[in-house]
Structure 1
Amino acid sequence: MKIVRLTLFILHIGIAFLLLGMLLNAYVPPKLFPWFNLLSLGFPVLIITYVLLTIFWIISWKKRAILFAVLGLAFINPVTRWINYNAENNEKSDLKIVSFNTKNGLVLGKKKIKEYIVSQNADIVLLQEDIGEGYDFDGLKETSIDALTATFSKYKIIDHKALIKSDFETNNAYANQTDIEIKGKIYRIINVYLQPFKFEKNMVKLNGNNEENEQKVKGVVRRLIPTFKKHQEQVGVIQEALKNSPYPVILAGDLNSVPNSYEYYHLSKGLKDAFVVVGRGSATSFHDYKFPLRIDYVFSSESIKPVSYKVDRSVRLSDHYPVVATFQLEK
């Protein structure tokens, strides 16, 4: 039994170091050291194992349980970015936003997506990975469309420009900004779709062949690392747009990055994560793999108060669930 406990103790320490390493994503960019960003992908498994081992030490009446429990407090905020239990907010909202990676309507078609969007009666709709053409949403008269990011608004669009254009197609924008006049005040809406990893299920699904699995893991890492570095460049462009904005900002979209990643820390800096503030339950938004992945977000400036946040699991129109958020605007 002593050997088992020693093994579990070493494992627990190792997991603690990995989790602490993940927190360094707030400071260490992928181009300098990408492996911290890789750890963010495994956060659900790491934290669950950490908690189970802590419970084991408590049941075993070991003093080390106190150490691991106290250290575990450092991971409370990282956990709330995945799972949260805020009280229900019944305040009145001024603005409703739907952010949705529609996968170009390839799952159930654009007609079903249009029906869903219209049923939401949102003020602003942000689509990613969708050309947006062919949509005619009732009540959403103002549009600004790039090939990868499309913004629809009930309110008047004052200005629009692409922030990050594709290296291959000039009409593709991985991020755009749209200035919208709402009730006499201008707000900047940034619609983001960071560089995708372009994985297929068969590329990440392991089987009983160890040699084949090893090659798959190496292949995944070979795709992850360069994309992390590309994200760093894209995040820098968006950060500059945030810093120079003369208006309150709402940033939303598909970051192709999980919470506690470099992308999350640096894009959310100075902004409020609507899920952390008012969300309830799980924030997992990508459902194509049997693994919890939150990669869709809605952030807002301090002056814009989140009222509600929902990952709408009632529909499966894409490999992403739509994200619906409401806000109170400053008076």
Structure 2
Amino acid sequence: MRNLHFFDKIIYVFNAIAATVLLLSFILPFLPPKTFSLLSVLSLGVPFLTLVNVLFFLYWLLKLKRQLILSLVVVTIGYVSFGSLYKFSASKNIKHPENFKVMNYNVRLFNLYDWIPEKSVETKIIDFIKTESPDVLAIQEYHPNSNIDLSSFKYKFEKLAGKKIKNGQAIFSKFPIVNSGSIEFPNTSNNAIFADIVKKKDTIRVYNIHFESLRIDPRIENLNKEESERLFKRIEKTFEMQQLQTELFLIHKKQSTYKMIICGDFNNSAFSYVYRTIKGDLNDAFQEAGNGFGRTYDFKFFPVRIDFMFVDQAFEVNGFKTYNVFNSDHFPIMATLALKEE
């Protein structure tokens, strides 16, 4: 730093802080949130922290300064450990006679409380689903009402709660459902459900998970109004609850011998303990066949991917798409799958 001007020395101090925080965030997915629950929030900021470090790298590159090495090394560590934040390869679109489509969608109660100031949002969501025509549909924050017509799916399983406003998770299928159930999470309305569907001679278990929400308003002006101490305490509690919910889910999952598809709104990022633990040796359908940032949540400051679809090794992922459909605070995702020949 001796050869740097005063302004560049200040820039490098901020660069070192950003690089250190990003490096720390790479460690957190391997630590249970109950151990460092408050620090776990850094996992949500990995896309932003990565972008900041890339900008620092470009700054030093343009000035031909060796200080570029710091951010370059940290970003490289992240790439080797977790893969690229942005997928540059084109989406797969492999045609196969045994292809079937699985969609995941948090519909936010079909806009029950008019978060989106438009008419007939629930009808737009249903029309979109009918147009894309998935064979299996996993919905979080599902709220049945007279305007919701999903009769194109012959089979369904839903688990609802609430006295006045019934809501919960649902799985719809064009294939027969032969078994279904729910994994109850304590002290919350969130849960995970499953349905065993039969496709020809194969039984496939489909999970639909909705983990505890951070309940952070994505509009920055509202974030500034909340007392930071209360916000941090709530985040800390939420990450602890997510760990417990993950543990309960894994106990249930371990008991199944079927081929498996896991869908859901994890309310956490791909750089989190929850993601790493649930994924295990499964394949992330976005990583296998998607492209771009894979943004699934409407946060205007940087892309956030918190809705996932994992499949086990029995499946080929022949396509994946994230839709820019603004009928909820989440964007739907859909994977095109085919069972591998045995």
What TM-score does the superposition give when structure 2 sets the normalisation length? 0.86
1:145 pairs with 2:161: no
Alpha-carbon distance, 1:61 to partner: 2.4
Cα distance in 1 for residues equivalent to 2:339 and 2:200: 10
1:162 pairs with 2:182: yes
Contact 1:163 1:237 in 2 (8 A): yes
1:188 pairs with 2:198: no
1:178 pairs with 2:188: no
Cα distance in 2 for residues equivalent to 1:14 and 1:72: 14
Cα distance in 2 for residues equivalent to 1:151 and 1:310: 19
Alpha-carbon distance, 1:200 to partner: 4.0
1:102 pairs with 2:103: no
Distance 1:120-1:306 versus aligned 2 partners, 3 A rule: same
Alpha-carbon distance, 1:81 to partner: 6.3
Alpha-carbon distance, 1:289 to partner: 4.5
Q: Give the partner amino acid of 2:171.
A: T
Cα distance in 2 for residues equivalent to 1:42 and 1:15: 11
Identify unmatched segments of 5+ residues in structure 2. 161-167
Cα distance in 2 for residues equivalent to 1:287 and 1:128: 16
User: Which of 27, 31, 40 pairs up with 2:30?
Assistant: 27
User: Which of 9, 15, 18 pairs up with 1:6?
Assistant: 9
Distance 1:121-1:214 versus aligned 2 partners, 3 A rule: closer
CA deviation vs aligned residue, 1:223-274 (integer Å, no higher than 9, x gap): 2110111000001112223333201211111111122012111111111111
2:247 aligned counterpart, secondary structure: helix
Alpha-carbon distance, 1:124 to partner: 0.1
Contact 1:162 1:173 in 2 (8 A): no
User: Which of 115, 125, 140 pairs up with 1:128?
Assistant: 140
Distance 1:92-1:13 versus aligned 2 partners, 3 A rule: same
* Aligned pairs (5 A) from 1:31-50: 31-50=34-53
1:229 aligned counterpart, secondary structure: helix
1:205 pairs with 2:221: yes
Contact 1:146 1:173 in 2 (8 A): no
User: Which of 244, 250, 262 pairs up with 1:251?
Assistant: 262
Cα distance in 2 for residues equivalent to 1:206 and 1:118: 35
Cα distance in 1 for residues equivalent to 2:5 and 2:199: 66
Question: Partner residue of 1:63?
Answer: 66
Alpha-carbon distance, 1:84 to partner: 1.1
Q: Give the partner amino acid of 1:262.
A: Y
User: Which of 272, 297, 302 pairs up with 2:283?
Assistant: 272
Question: Partner residue of 1:210?
Answer: none
Cα distance in 1 for residues equivalent to 2:129 and 2:172: 11
Percent identity between the aligned chains? 25
Alpha-carbon distance, 1:283 to partner: 1.1
Contact 1:81 1:276 in 2 (8 A): no
1:33 aligned counterpart, secondary structure: coil
Alpha-carbon distance, 1:149 to partner: 0.8
What TM-score does the superposition give when structure 1 sets the normalisation length? 0.88
Distance 1:81-1:276 versus aligned 2 partners, 3 A rule: farther
Question: Partner residue of 1:231?
Answer: 242
Alpha-carbon distance, 1:201 to partner: 5.5
Question: Partner residue of 2:228?
Answer: 217
What is the root-mean-square deviation of aligned Cα atoms in Å? 2.3
Contact 2:103 2:136 in 1 (8 A): yes
Alpha-carbon distance, 1:77 to partner: 5.4
